[in-house]
Amino acid sequence: MGPDFNLFLTNRGLDNGVHLIQRPAYAEDGWLVRRSMELQTLLQPASIVATSLAGIPAYFTDFRMVDFLGYNEKTIAGMDSLLLSTADFKGYIPGHVKMDIHYTVTNYNPDFIFYKLDFFFPSPEMLDFFRGQGYEYNNEFEDWQKSSVFSET
């Protein structure tokens, strides 16, 4: 599991020094914190995890994260944004209009796809693509993994 503390440096008067601050065990998206930490116990250290939910999993784990939305992936970040009609604008979430799952999976070959399937409603073609790339559905995590990715414990 990743470290339970963050290093915090101060430079104020008598309080100069290094402090350890315990990471909070809660968040607005507590399910994602719990799921990330559970996954951390099952995957090998520094496993590659592809996701569109990169913030919390990256903070609470030591995975090498690849974000489908391009926050930490140069090629996707440089893509043109999808054009939204006024009918689509109600569901617009800034930073969530670029995505290339095919590119991410084929170029990074992630060990685990932390995809939150019920959020994105992937097409049958996307599910077939995952299977064709050697992934199997993990019922416990409700996401996709390479067949031999979990560590032996």
pLDDT at 84: 64
Distance CA 15, CA 22 (A): 18
Q: List 5's β-bridge partners, or say none.
A: 22
Does the pTM surpass 0.85? The reply is no
Select the more confidently predicted residue: 120 or 71.
71
Q: Is the pLDDT of residue 34 over 60?
A: yes
Tell me the average pLDDT across 44-62. Answer: 85
